[in-house]
Amino acid sequence: MSFFQKAANLAHKTAVSGLVGSFVYGLYVVGGQVSEGRDVQTKENHPQAGYIQMLKDKAQEEYNKYYDIDHREWYDEDDDSYLKNLPKKEDYAPKKK
């Protein structure tokens, strides 16, 4: 083997080891941040907990209406009553201390 072939093999091994090592280190950092995020944030302290719960309630309400055969929501071009049902920030904002 020539000197250049040995140098090329060494450079290749160094590059591959560096890339694999940086990937593993990235996984370690991201995994640490994910596990830390689970511990720090609880449902009560989440800034959008009310909004998320409101979305879950709306989804459940729509799911219950899906199989209701007596329920009809007719489309009317001039009807804007759906705007009254839109969630407002005050509905789901966390209570200030």
d(CA 23, CA 55): 37
- Residue 81, CA distances (Å) to 11, 55, 59, 64 in order: 69, 19, 19, 21
Every domain of the chain and the residues it spans: 1-40, 43-69+85-97
pLDDT, residue 7, reads: 94
Q: Is 87 in contact with 53 (CB distance < 8 Å)?
A: no
pLDDT, residue 38, reads: 66
Give the mean pLDDT per block of 10 residues along the chain (97 residues): 92 97 96 76 67 88 77 68 77 69
